[in-house]
Amino acid sequence: MKIFITLIIIIFSFSGYVFAETYYCSYEINNNSEIIEIKRIDNNSFNQGDILFENNKFIYIGEPVEGFDRTGFRIAIIDKILSKFRMTVMYDPKHQDQQSAVIEGNCKISN
């Protein structure tokens, strides 16, 4: 009986555990290879923003961004099956001279 109770306590204590998954995604921009780290912070966010949607195939991550007198929204999509990602920033429409770049590439996952 003590073993059973101990097992139940262990199971419930780890039920809220979040795996520390980190995606290392490579892409090319301006003929240079770059790597971006996308690290899970908790059940609701990564270091690149909040989780907008997640299932067993995809993770959608997004957050508002500001800089260089621009405001916008960054979104990243990670394909868990193909180990690929795509990311872009949509800038506020008032900035007509600003074009949004799309970066994409392959990812490696680390737990």
**What DSSP character marks residue 92?**
P
Identify whether the C-beta of residue 37 lies closer than 8 Å to the C-beta of residue 107: no
Element (H, E) at 58: strand 58-67
Does residue 80 carry a pLDDT above 90? yes
**Whole-number Å distance between alpha carbons of 92 and 48:** 19
Mean pLDDT of 54-78: 93
Q: What pLDDT does 100 receive?
A: 77
Query: Does the predicted TM-score (pTM) go above 0.75?
Result: yes
List alpha helices for the chain, DSSP H: 2-14
pLDDT tens-place string over residues 21-50: 999 999 998 899 999 999 999 999 999 999
Does residue 57 carry a pLDDT above 50? yes
**Whole-number Å distance between alpha carbons of 75 and 28:** 18
